Amino acid sequence: MKRITIAKGDGIGPEIMDATLQLLKAAGAELAYDEVKIGEEVYLSGNTSGITKDAWEKIRQNKVFLKAPITTPQGGGYKSLNVTARKSLGLFANVRPCRSYHPYVQSKHPQLDIVVVRENEEDLYAGIEHQQTAEVVQCLKLISRPGCEKIIRYAFEYAVKNNRKKVTCLSKDNIMKQTDGLFHRVFDEISKDYPTIQSEHMIVDIGMAKVADSPEDFDVIVTSNLYGDIVSDVVAQIAGSVGMAGSFNLGEHAVMFEAIHGSAPDIAGKNMANPSALIQAAVLMLCHIGQPKVAEKIQNAWLKTLEDGIHTADIYKEELSSKLASTQEFTESIIMRLGQIPKKLKAVSYENSAPIELKPYHRKEVQKQEKSLKGVDIFVDNMGIKADDLAVELKKMEGDFASLNMITNRGVKVWPNGFEETYCTDHWRCRFLAKNKEQMSKEELIKLLQNAVKEKIDVIKTENLYTFNGETAYSLGQGQ
Ligand code: NAD
């Protein structure tokens, strides 16, 4: 008997969780449950994290967590519990297998069979956001080398273990040369360790367009958090419905299984939700905890149900379906088919399925890099000033140790030699470089800021400009 933690969540969560538990029981899964309360009820009781200390304890103790979707209330400082859970438990990999069940579930892409491996802890989802001026807000995009190494190596390991042929990396490194550039570089490095797996990189925009147009050309996709979030929904939707795909979130200490969709408040309580995605998550979980026979039994009965045309509203099509089923009827139909195998859709065999294994990550010995401070970007709040006039003000800060190198507005160079027609907000990046020597000292940096205060220049933040091993490690201005 394996003890796991479950949470019924919000919206359609309780309906699809009850359906899943009913099916697990009927199929003979050897499971004991600790149920925890998370989500809307906890948020609205004044806990902005949406989860109590007791719930954390149960989840950490059992290490396997089956979670129904929850609702994150809008505004009010409520943090997404999904993001919190993934990050707090170190669940760095979000894995979303998706395939088409053509012709029983309508899809324009009968050959679709894709696994999206999405980085789960970093990127714009670090949730570090600030309003900096009246007109400008920012969100910090953080990408780390260990983060890239862990997710990319996992994607290749997954491909090897699951007989996949190719791993495609999606990034936008033509624009974000530091952050996405690092992701792409690490992908190129790690792919060399897996010569039997084909590897390719695509810029995310055209890559995603190709996924939507010809998904049969893709196999495993590895990408960073935001792109992964988007591409996995695209893949699930074009496979048939977001209501069909399960996923797992994996770390060294715990695994969380869930549907990829949300709490669907628009259909909550109507007994019409498709429980398939959570059922798929439960099937993945059964394989992971060493009950592959039960997983196989459920999966084949589920496929047979789809094949027999018993469909919930989201996938119901008059010409393909034989019965429009409620959540409950759909679940009962699967239970009735336990022990049967599909005739036309390919039956599954999980006999050789291994638990979702994870080798502990050991940070590579990083060679010490020669870091040199070349200058500083000082961000300034100033509404309505012209760039040339701002430059006159800023030059008063220079002293004999720094010189103003450029000013950009939203990344576009506006001084020196800017264009009249460039639209400027109140948010200016003012780049100062060390004058007449190789480096700027921290003391000079502070002096520069003191000069700014003296000249009544409203500094809102600074970013140090470094070279690492002599290589420039900051972006130039657009047009510079
Ligand atoms: P959603 O996935 O809940 O719904 C999108 C659309 O898909 C809706 O039309 C919905 O009716 C339909 N749909 C989703 N699941 C379905 C199912 N099983 N059967 C039939 N139809 C289904 O996305 P949303 O509307 O953007 O988000 C609603 C709430 O869910 C928000 O509060 C959001 O924060 C939360 N959410 C939670 C999770 C999670 O818990 N992992 C993930 C995404 C969104």
pLDDT in tens, 51-86: 888 999 999 999 999 999 998 877 766 777 887 888
E strand or H helix that includes residue 242: none
Please tell me the distance between residue 25's alpha carbon and the centre of ligand 1 in angstroms: 26
pLDDT at 22 over 70: yes
Q: Which residue has the tokens 């042929």?
A: 165
Q: What is the pLDDT of residue 356?
A: 65
Please tell me the distance between residue 92's alpha carbon and the centre of ligand 1 in angstroms: 22
Residues 6+ apart with CB under 8 A from 238: 107, 108, 109, 112, 212, 215
pLDDT at 479 over 80: no
Two structure tokens written together for 135:
């007109």
Distance in Å from the first CA to the final CA of the chain: 64
Which atom in ligand 1 lies closest to the alpha carbon of residue 261?
2
Compute the C-alpha angle 369/375/377, nearest 5°: 115
Please tell me the distance between residue 379's alpha carbon and the centre of ligand 1 in angstroms: 39
Candidates 3.30.530.20, 3.40.50.300, 3.40.718.10, 3.40.190.10; CATH matching 1-90+246-353: 3.40.718.10
- At 45, the pLDDT band (50, 70, 90 cuts) reads confident
Q: What is the pLDDT of residue 154?
A: 94
Residues 309-338 pLDDT 10s: 999 999 999 988 999 999 999 999 999 999
Superfamily of the domain at 108-239: Isopropylmalate Dehydrogenase (3.40.718.10)
Q: Please, what's the b/e burial string for 218-245 (b: 16 or more CB within 10 A of its CB; e: otherwise)? A: bbbbbbbbbbbbbbbbbbbbbbbbbbbb
Q: HSE-up of 467 (CA within 13 Å, CB side)?
A: 11
Two structure tokens written together for 92:
């760095």
Q: Whose CA is nearest to atom 39 of ligand 1?
A: 69
E strand or H helix that includes residue 27: helix 13-27
Q: Is the separation of the CB atoms in 260 and 234 below 8 Å?
A: no
Q: Whose CA is nearest to atom 31 of ligand 1?
A: 71
Please tell me the distance between residue 50's alpha carbon and the centre of ligand 1 in angstroms: 17
Please tell me the distance between residue 198's alpha carbon and the centre of ligand 1 in angstroms: 34
E strand or H helix that includes residue 238: helix 225-239
Q: What is the pLDDT of residue 76?
A: 67
Q: Is the separation of the CB atoms in 44 and 74 below 8 Å?
A: no
Which atom in ligand 1 lies closest to the alpha carbon of residue 314?
20
pLDDT at 294 over 70: yes
Q: Is the separation of the CB atoms in 369 and 375 below 8 Å?
A: no
Which atom in ligand 1 lies closest to the alpha carbon of residue 9?
40
Q: Which residue has the tokens 């959570």?
A: 278
Please tell me the distance between residue 206's alpha carbon and the centre of ligand 1 in angstroms: 26
Q: Count the neighbouring beta carbons within 10 Å of the beta carbon of residue 54.
A: 11
Q: Please, what's the b/e burial string for 329-353 (b: 16 or more CB within 10 A of its CB; e: otherwise)? A: ebbbbbbebbebbbeebeebebeeb
Residue 69: phi, psi to the nearest 5? -65, 150
Q: Is the separation of the CB atoms in 459 and 445 below 8 Å?
A: no
Two structure tokens written together for 146:
């260990």
Two structure tokens written together for 208:
């995603």
- At 216, the pLDDT band (50, 70, 90 cuts) reads very high
Residues 417-438 pLDDT 10s: 999 889 999 999 999 999 977 8
Which atom in ligand 1 lies closest to the alpha carbon of residue 70?
40
Q: Whose CA is nearest to atom 10 of ligand 1?
A: 264
Q: Is the separation of the CB atoms in 55 and 26 below 8 Å?
A: no
Q: Whose CA is nearest to atom 43 of ligand 1?
A: 262
Q: Of the residues 67, 232, 263, which should be mutated to test ligand 1's pocket, given the most ligand atoms within 8 Å of the CB?
A: 263
Residue 376: phi, psi to the nearest 5? -150, 140
pLDDT at 354 over 70: no
Please tell me the distance between residue 126's alpha carbon and the centre of ligand 1 in angstroms: 22
- The three-state secondary structure class of 116 is strand
Q: Is the separation of the CB atoms in 115 and 220 below 8 Å?
A: yes
Cα 67 to the chain's mean position, in Å? 17
Two structure tokens written together for 329:
């009827």
d(CA 242, CA 259): 9
Do the domains 108-239 and 1-90+246-353 match in fold? yes
E strand or H helix that includes residue 75: none
Could you tell me the fold of the domain covering 371-472?
Alpha-Beta Plaits (3.30.70)
Q: What is the mean pLDDT of residues 136-162?
A: 94
d(CA 238, CA 217): 14
**154, 253, 232, 137: which is closest to 194 by C-alpha?**
154
Q: What is the pLDDT of residue 367?
A: 79
Please tell me the distance between residue 125's alpha carbon and the centre of ligand 1 in angstroms: 19
Q: What is the mean pLDDT of residues 190-196?
A: 97
- At 357, the pLDDT band (50, 70, 90 cuts) reads low
d(CA 22, CA 244): 18
Pocket of ligand 1 (CB under 6 A): 12, 69-72, 82, 242-243, 258, 261-267, 273-274, 277, 314
Q: How far is CA 230 from CA 73, 254, 322, 364, 470, in A?
A: 21, 24, 32, 31, 37
The residue type at 165: K
d(CA 41, CA 37): 8
Q: What is the pLDDT of residue 355?
A: 61
Q: What is the mean pLDDT of residues 341-346?
A: 92
- At 358, the pLDDT band (50, 70, 90 cuts) reads confident
Domain boundaries, the chain: 1-90+246-353, 108-239, 371-472
Q: How far is CA 167 from CA 203, 324, 365, in A?
A: 14, 38, 26
Q: Is the separation of the CB atoms in 21 and 81 below 8 Å?
A: no
